[in-house]
Amino acid sequence: MSDKKKFNIEYEIKSSPRILYSFLSEPNGLTQWFADDVAVKDQIYTFTWDGEQQKAKLLLMKENKLVRFKWMDDDPNCYFEMEIMQDELTNDVALGITDFATEETISERKLIWDNQVDYLISVLGA
C-alpha cells in the first residue's frame, strides 16, 4: 500500500486546447518545457533531466483533452495526468495536473509543477 496521496493543481493558460495538447503529448513539445529530452517507443516515454533517465508508460490519451502517464518504477496505483479543461461559457483554458506524492513531498512536487508550467506558459507566449 502506497503512502502517496493524490493531489490536483490547476493553472490558467491562454492557449487553444489543440496547441496546448501538442506540448503535453508530443516528444518535441514536452522537451520544450517538461524535460531536457523525451523519446517515445511503444507507448513508453523516456524523459531525461540532467542526464538522468526516467521511463513512464502512457496510460491514457484523449486528443486535445488529456494525457496520463505512469512512472515505470513507481507504485502501480500512482500516475500523473495533465488535463486540458475549457470553460464552455468563457472558453477559458486551464491545465489541470493530477499527481501523487508523499505527505512530506507534496509541497515540493507542487513547486516543481509550478516551475514547469510557468516555463510552459512562457514557451506558449501565453
pLDDT at 62 (0 to 100): 98
Is the pLDDT at 124 greater than 90, yes or no?
A: yes
Average of per-residue pLDDT across 40-65: 96
Average of per-residue pLDDT across 3-14: 96
What domains does the chain contain, in order, with CATH numbers?
A: 4-124 (3.30.530.20)
pLDDT at 76 (0 to 100): 86
Q: What is the pLDDT of residues 60-117, one digit of tens each?
A: 999 999 999 999 998 889 999 999 999 999 999 999 999 999 999 999 999 999 999 9
Best CA proximity match to 7, nearest among 111, 91, 88:
111
Written as one letter, the residue type at 60 is L
93-102: strand order across its sheet: 4-12, 93-102, 80-86, 66-71, 52-62, 44-49, 37-41
DSSP annotation string for 81-100: EEEEEE-TTT--EEEEEEEE
Cell numbers at 70, concatenated: 505512469
